[in-house]
A = this chain, B = another copy of it.
Amino acid sequence: MAERSLLNQLIDALRCLPGVGPKSAQRMAFHLLERDREGGARLARVMADAMARVQSCRRCRTLSEHDLCGICANPKRDASLLCVVEQPSEIVAIDQATDFRGLYFVLGGRLSPLDGIGPDELGLDVLEGRLRDESIMEVILAISPTVEGSATAQFIADFAARHGVKITRIAHGVPLGGELEHVDGGTLALAFAGRRDL
């Protein structure tokens, strides 16, 4: 075949999806073409629209097609609580699993000067502006307990203190149902350091 067929182009293009290798891409392409043209056409429309229009929320930096995301624009959310996360996907997880109904702020990573990721890349100037201008009472840090994560948390704690805002960090320890013998040493050490009175 001299020219690439549309089918082969579709199989190739599907491989940009994470976790999709040549076999799954082929299965997906045949499935859409043989059994779900309508679903495929809708997916193509929504995907083109999302790639073109989704940007960052001006206030919390999560992904949104609006200037302000649905959470930031919702007057029912508690504007005195601000949860700082690394990635937009973590907002979905926290909103689904917890009863937290405050606002969020997305860093998009952790401080890592060697990789050129400083406070500006994480929008920490925007965050500090919010602590100064909004009536935030408590900042809850939901940041991974890695070296860079802890440095980032400390950096935020420092300027939160300057603005007189209470700062907390979510608990790290042995997960629910976790067997002690299967939990990694770092987590176990964190769990011991963070022990509480019963």
Q: What B residues does A42 contact at CB under 8 A? A: 13, 16
Which residues of the other chain, B, contact A16 by a CB distance below 8 angstroms?
A: 32, 36, 39-40, 42-43
Q: Which of A50-58, A124-132, A153-161, A170-178 is found at the contact surface with chain B?
A: A50-58
Copies of this protein chain in the complex = 2
| A18 proximity list for chain B (CB < 8 A) | 27-28, 31
Q: Which residue of B lies closest to A27 (CB)?
A: B18
A43 contacts B13, C-beta separation under 8 Å: yes
Known: A34-B63, A39-B16. A50 touches B6 (CB 8 A): yes
- Are B33's CB and A27's CB within 8 A? no
Interface, chain A (partner B; CB < 8 A): 1-3, 5-7, 9-10, 13-14, 16-19, 24, 26-34, 36-37, 39-54, 63-65, 69-71, 74, 87-89, 92
